[in-house]
Amino acid sequence: MAQQHLDPTEPMAKTVTGDALAGYLRAQATEFLRALRQHRETGAGGNGSEESVDAARALRRSARRISGSLHTFRPLLDPDWSEGMRPELAWLSGTLALEHACAARLERLLNALHRLSGSPTLPAQSTRPAASAPPAERGGGNLTVGAAKAGALLDRQLTLARTRAHSAALQALGSSRFHAVADRVAVLASEVPLTPTATTTDLRPLATAAEERLTDAVTALPLITAGHPYNAAALIHGLSPDPSPHSQDTPWHQVRLLLRLHRYAREVIEGADAPVNVRLLAAGQALNRHRDASEAATAAASAARTPRIAPATAYALGVLHADQRHEVEAARFAFQQSWQKQKVTTP
């Protein structure tokens, strides 16, 4: 791991070249293989033990970093290799992410239902077995009939989705497609296919380009509206006849991905020991919260379209949908606040 470090306190820091990229990719590939081994040891067939959840998270984490670096620093890498690699990594991290997303979404929605009912929040759900008692029986029961039924309905639907995602992930991890990816990552851990000129090429213009793509996308966001609390913009199509997810969320999701690419590029340039940029972290967390609330709101709206539900259930799901759309709005406000701070301190 002979990475070159960019000292952020030194104004004329020396050039960072393809060697740093190779070091970063090797380290991430090693981490990927470690997580994969851990995942197999803790029971690939397991139904969500803590170690297995951690291992899956570490797998996704390194897959995202490898894939992101391949994208940002494309000109320094063998094009056939990197163009073949990226979709496979995207497929893998997407497949692995789904199970976790379903569990987290259910936990978010049940916690919100309990908050809205004025009862204490549930303990974290993410590590509980997929099949368990419905939330009304679990949660300490101060829910109205509508809230309890809504919780049970969401539990049923999202647990089913989670079980399917779990099977799909297991199937993926046993597939020849996955073994091919793992083999390529194993090669990457020792040998990075750089272009002949990569070791003398400065990485920083490519990292800067990634930052500029982020800045441009942020500039296009409605940040002035987002900076005014209670602008009621996120719920504006809450009862629209359009059944598709809120299209107003798309540019924010896009910024979330670009922010991640920017963060990974910084990791490559600055090395593993570089201090965490707290404001970038806060902005990223706000965008994660935005995405989670957006998807939870969609899940509540979708559950409300289940045939033959009771009006009280539908009412509770309507309140829940609106609550999560306000979480979307709150997350945009939080992003705007952290982004403004960033501009002040980074001249």
* Contact footprint for a copy of itself (CB under 8 A): 113, 115-118, 142-144, 146-147, 229-230, 232, 235-242, 304, 309-323, 326-327, 329-330, 333
- Name 274's bridge partners: none
State in angstroms the smallest separation of the CB of 242 from a copy of itself.
Answer: 8
Tokens of 288: 């994660």
- The residue among 143 and 181 lying less far from a copy of itself, judged by its C-beta, is 143
- The residue among 13 and 309 lying less far from a copy of itself, judged by its C-beta, is 309
Instruction: Read off φ and ψ for residue 16, nearest 5 degrees.
Output: -105, 125
State in angstroms the smallest separation of the CB of 107 from a copy of itself.
Answer: 17
| Nearest to 60, CA basis, from 84, 28, 104, 103 | 28
Helix (H, G, I), strand (E, B) or coil at 277: coil
State in angstroms the smallest separation of the CB of 342 from a copy of itself.
Answer: 19
- The residue among 144 and 254 lying less far from a copy of itself, judged by its C-beta, is 144
State in angstroms the smallest separation of the CB of 328 from a copy of itself.
Answer: 10
Q: Which residues contact residue 53 at a Cβ distance below 8 angstroms, ignoring those fewer than 6 apart?
A: 100, 126, 127
Instruction: Read off φ and ψ for residue 194, nearest 5 degrees.
Output: -75, 160
State in angstroms the smallest separation of the CB of 337 from a copy of itself.
Answer: 9
- The residue among 235 and 274 lying less far from a copy of itself, judged by its C-beta, is 235
- The residue among 121 and 195 lying less far from a copy of itself, judged by its C-beta, is 121
- The residue among 118 and 129 lying less far from a copy of itself, judged by its C-beta, is 118
State in angstroms the smallest separation of the CB of 250 from a copy of itself.
Answer: 16
Q: Which amino acid is at 343?
A: K
- The residue among 251 and 318 lying less far from a copy of itself, judged by its C-beta, is 318
Complete DSSP assignment for 258-278? HHHHHHHHHHHHH-TTSPP-H
State in angstroms the smallest separation of the CB of 114 from a copy of itself.
Answer: 9
State the Cα torsion 221-226-228-230 to the nearest 10°. Answer: 150
Alpha carbon separation from 192 to 22, 23, 268 (Å, rounded): 6, 9, 14
- The residue among 163 and 248 lying less far from a copy of itself, judged by its C-beta, is 248
Tokens of 210: 């990634």
Instruction: Read off φ and ψ for residue 259, nearest 5 degrees.
Output: -65, -40
Distance between CA atoms of 220 and 214, rounded to whole angstroms? 10
Q: Which amino acid is at 263?
A: R
State in angstroms the smallest separation of the CB of 2 from a copy of itself.
Answer: 47
